[in-house]
Structure formats: C-alpha cells, structure tokens
C-alpha cells in the first residue's frame, strides 16, 4: 500500500518541531538533538529505528528554506535509465516489433529471433536485452497490454442448464439421538444461471460413488447440462467420471487446483448453507441419516430457493422456473455409462467374484478354468453387477449372499427441533406431533416465569444459559416445564440461576 506523502511530511515536521523554538540556547539545542537522534521511533513505513543526525539537519534545512509543509514532502527519486551498449538500436527495434505482434513472447525467443535475423554467432544476453527494452516507451505500452489480460474474468451462464457447478461443503458434525456423533458433508449441484440447487445429498465422504449418485439424481430429474464445472478433486478427475461425461456429451470446464475464488457462486451457497442449516443442527435432534437428508431438502426448498438473490433480483425458484433441459438421456444409458468395469478371475471352487465390496455368483456356463472375465458393477447400488459377454452385452449377476434390509421409516419417531417446522412445510402437512419446536427464547421465558424476574439480566447469565442448552438441549416444552417444577420442589424458591441449571442438568442426567 502506497504511503501518503502529506502524512510523511507531517511526521517529519513533528520530529523537528522541538528544534524550531527560537528561544533555545546552543547547548540546549545540542542536548535536544542528541535526545531525538538516540531514541528509536516508528517510521511511516513501519520500521523502528532512530533518526540520523544528518537526516534531522536535512529536514531542518528544507523547512527553514521554505517554511511550508510542502518543503518536507518526500522526493521521488528516479533511476537513470541504464542502456547496455552491447544491444544495438536495430536489434531493439526488431525486438519491439516482435513484442507488439505477440506481447507474450519470452526473452529467449526474442534473443533467438535477433540472432537469426542479424546472423549473430551467439544469442544476445537476455538480461541486457531486458534492460534496453525497459527504457523505451513502446515497451511500457506492451507491458500494459500484458497486464490487462491478467485480470480474472467472471463468467455467467446465459441459459439454464448451460453450466452445472459441483462441490461439497466441508466436514461438519451431527449428533444423533442415540448419542453417536458422525462427520458428514453436503454434496451439491448448482445451476450457474439461476443458482438453483439441482441436487444436494448428505454424504460421509466426497467419494466417486457419492459424486455419481448426486449427478445421476439431478440428470434423472432435469436432464443433461451443456457443461460441468468442478474443482480438481479426485472424484471429478477420475477416469470413470470424465469418460462418462464425454459419452453423454457434457463438456468439462477445466480449472486450476486450489483455486476457490473461481467457484464463487457455489462457495456463496456453502456460506448460506452453514448459516441456515448447519448451525441450526445444534438445536435439532436427529434420528438417523435419512432424517438429516429430509431436513436438508426442506431447508433448501423452503428457504434457499425462496429467498431473493441480490444479483438475480428474484428467487432461485422463480429464475429456474422448473426448467427441463433440452438434452435428455435415457435412464438405461445413464446407468450404463457410470458402470465401473474390470477384468477378474472368478474363484475356482465357488465361481464367485467380488465387485465393489459385494460377492456375486457367476453362472457356470461362463466359467472357464484360468480364464479372466470382464465385469461391470454399479458404484451406487452395491447389489447391481453384470458380466460382459463376448457380444459386449451386460448379463445381470446375482449376489452370492442376499441381505434383507429392514425398513423403519415412521414419522411418529422423528424428534422435534428448530428445523422441524421447515420439514412440515416442505411436506405440505403437519406431522403427528403434539407441539412445535422449543428453543432458547422459550427457555428464557420459562426460567423468567419460575424465578419471577427477567432472564437473562446480564450477559454472563445469557452465556451461561446458552452453554447449558447446547450441552443438554433441546427439550420438549412439557418435559422441560415438568423438570423445572421438580427442581424447585427439591431445592426451593429463591435459588440463583446457576444452582437451578445445575440441578436441571443432574435431573436430566439421572433420567438418561
């Protein structure tokens, strides 16, 4: 950052101001000058050093000559251009012509072209050529042309489904009602034109299977995009994903690694996701991952898609208008292009082969001793795998061990929290629950009614209640009011707030 010359001049005047007093004796002036030059001071540039005696004399001389603050302004010193005599003028003119034709030409190419043009036995020194170029006005114009091309260009899709952005929100923790805590990510696909979220899935890691699942989910609903834009993460850079996009005719926009500013739209969505969803999970009990996914879908559809975007001047839902892409692909082809293919040798005794972590049985008519077979398996559905026969057809395989999944998805078991009203609105009906969410404002009101005073009265009380609620909450209203009544029956009225919260925590811990 450039320093203000006027501020520098004022700083210099403050240093010499004590020496400008006309009533000072010679001895007093000498002692004051010694004191000023011996003490370390902070200069306008930030360094801390004492001021030399010669510098003080120079500033005094400059000020006494003019008696204005402008006399102390710093003087911009320009180095005299140093032209190397070894670079001839005709070489310099030829090099400038090459640069004006192509500003990005390197010094090595310039030296090589000069040597060829003028039949030189060796290349001109690049450092000498660069110094000779820097003193010319034509080269300064060329440098400005080069700098103009270094600014970041911001691209915006002109049509819906022209560009899809894919990325995952960083790890966050979610605590379930059974006491377990797990790390999750949210993998989302965003339409560049409308900022509409095409798909958002809760995942445990940004793996290839999760990326394929999210992309397939969006394509099944809206069709194919024209371009796909993502960072250089391993799932997006994998051979399978790139080949599948190429087969589907989706162009992959190249991007540099570790360059988050190039993905500003989806990064802004991630910040919104953190404020509106992840922070609210502290006050929302979670039954399982399916419950977490339902709450995410409800938040995106009822909050994010409905809020007014500052740049769009409308909501993403209105801008997107439920538009279907003109590029449609069949579900069968979408399934086949994302199949992982490999060549394996089935087990000799059982005829089984392990594909994607699942054991499959190969039909006996395809088994040949010591002969490898080609297989394909689904990365999303672990129970789907195929044998590729000689005609390149997919022969379905059956798992060697069948697993029966238990389905336990009842709304009555969903716990209540701050995000529950969004889920009810998203589903279009009120779930069979007796009460709504119960958060910090209701806790304050219940404690104020029990203590017969305002809660919180101080910032310390507010911090105490918030810390306690994060550790032991959230609660249902009836259960909290009953526990609070039992605490006052046990310890009596008139107790301070920390004692009441401590007894409430002990009661809750005993019940658990």
Is this model's pTM higher than 0.85 or not?
A: no
The list of the chain residues with pLDDT below 70 reads 1-2, 77-84, 145-155, 258, 260-262, 402-413, 426-439, 473-474, 508-512
Q: Tell which residue, 206, 216, 205, 222, has the closest CA to residue 244.
A: 216
**Contact (Cβ atoms closer than 8 angstroms) between residue 274 and residue 169:** yes
pLDDT digits (tens, 9 = 90+) for 89-136: 888 889 888 888 888 788 888 898 999 999 999 888 888 888 888 888
Q: Phi, psi (5° rounding) for residue 255?
A: -145, 155
Cα distances (angstroms) measured from residue 494 to each of 457, 458, 464, 489, 497: 15, 18, 18, 11, 9
pLDDT of 494 reads 74
pLDDT at 318 (0 to 100):
93
Place of tokens 């992309």: 215
The per-residue pLDDT for 428 is 57
Given this model, what pLDDT does residue 508 score? 66
* Residue position matching structure tokens 């077979």: 373
**Cis ω for the linkage preceding 456 (within 30 of 0):** yes
The encoded tokens of residue 149 equal 């091309």
Q: Three-state SS string across 356-393, please?
A: CCEEEECCHHHCCCCCCEEEEEECCCCCCEEEECCCCC
Burial of residue 168 (number of CB atoms within 10 Å: 0-12, 13-18, 19+)? buried
**Structural domains of the chain, ranges and CATH numbers in brackets:** 5-72 (no CATH), 89-148 (no CATH), 163-320 (3.30.420.10), 339-399 (no CATH), 440-511 (no CATH)
With 0-12 CB in 10 A as exposed, 13-18 as middle and 19+ as buried, what is 235?
Answer: buried
Strand partners, 406: none
């Amino acid at each position: 950052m450039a320093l203000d010359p006027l501020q520098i001049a004022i700083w210099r005047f403050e240093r010499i101001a004590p020496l400008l007093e006309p009533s000072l004796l010679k001895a007093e002036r000498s002692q004051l000058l010694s004191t000023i030059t011996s003490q370390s001071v902070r200069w306008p540039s930030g360094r801390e050093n004492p001021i030399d005696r010669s510098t003080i004399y120079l500033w005094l001389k400059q000020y006494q000559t003019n008696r204005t603050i402008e006399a102390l302004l710093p003087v911009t010193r320009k180095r005299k251009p140093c032209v190397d005599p070894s670079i001839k003028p005709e070489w310099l003119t030829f090099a400038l012509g090459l640069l004006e034709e192509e500003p990005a030409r390197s010094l090595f190419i310039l030296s090589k072209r000069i040597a060829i043009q003028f039949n030189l036995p060796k290349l001109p020194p690049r450092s000498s050529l660069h110094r000779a170029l820097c003193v010319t006005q034509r080269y300064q114009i060329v440098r400005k042309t080069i700098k103009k091309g270094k600014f970041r260009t911001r691209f915006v899709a002109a049509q819906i489904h022209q560009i899809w952005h894919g990325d995952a929100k960083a790890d966050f923790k979610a605590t379930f009602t059974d006491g377990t805590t797990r790390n999750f990510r949210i993998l989302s696909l965003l339409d560049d034109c409308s900022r509409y979220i095409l798909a958002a899935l809760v995942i445990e890691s940004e793996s290839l299977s999760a990326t394929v699942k999210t992309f397939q989910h969006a394509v099944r609903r809206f069709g194919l995009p024209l371009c796909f834009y993502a960072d250089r993460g391993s799932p997006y850079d994998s051979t399978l994903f790139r080949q599948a996009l190429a087969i589907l005719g989706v162009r992959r926009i190249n991007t540099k690694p570790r360059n988050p500013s190039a993905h500003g739209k989806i990064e802004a969505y991630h910040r919104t996701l953190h404020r509106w969803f992840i922070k609210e999970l502290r006050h929302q009990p979670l039954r399982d991952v399916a419950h977490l996914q339902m709450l995410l879908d409800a938040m995106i559809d009822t909050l994010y898609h409905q809020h007014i975007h500052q740049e769009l001047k409308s909501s993403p839902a209105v801008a997107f208008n439920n538009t279907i892409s003109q590029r449609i692909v069949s579900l069968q082809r979408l399934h086949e292009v994302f199949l992982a293919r490999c060549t394996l040798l089935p087990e000799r005794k059982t005829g089984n082969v392990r594909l994607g972590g699942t054991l499959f049985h190969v039909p006996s008519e395809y088994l040949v001793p010591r002969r490898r077979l080609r297989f394909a398996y689904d990365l999303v559905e672990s129970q789907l795998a195929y044998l590729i026969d000689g005609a390149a057809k997919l022969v379905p395989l059956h798992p060697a061990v069948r697993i029966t999944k238990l389905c336990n998805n009842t709304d009555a078991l969903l716990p209540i929290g701050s995000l529950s009203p969004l889920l009810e609105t998203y589903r279009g009906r009120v779930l069979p629950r007796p009460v709504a969410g119960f958060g910090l404002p209701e806790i304050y009101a219940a404690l104020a009614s029990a203590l017969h005073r305002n809660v919180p009265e101080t910032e310390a009380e507010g911090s105490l209640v918030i810390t306690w609620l994060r550790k032991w909450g959230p609660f249902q209203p009836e259960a909290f009011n009953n526990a609070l009544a039992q605490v006052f029956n046990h310890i009596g009225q008139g107790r301070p707030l920390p004692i009441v919260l401590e007894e409430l925590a002990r009661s809750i811990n005993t019940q658990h």
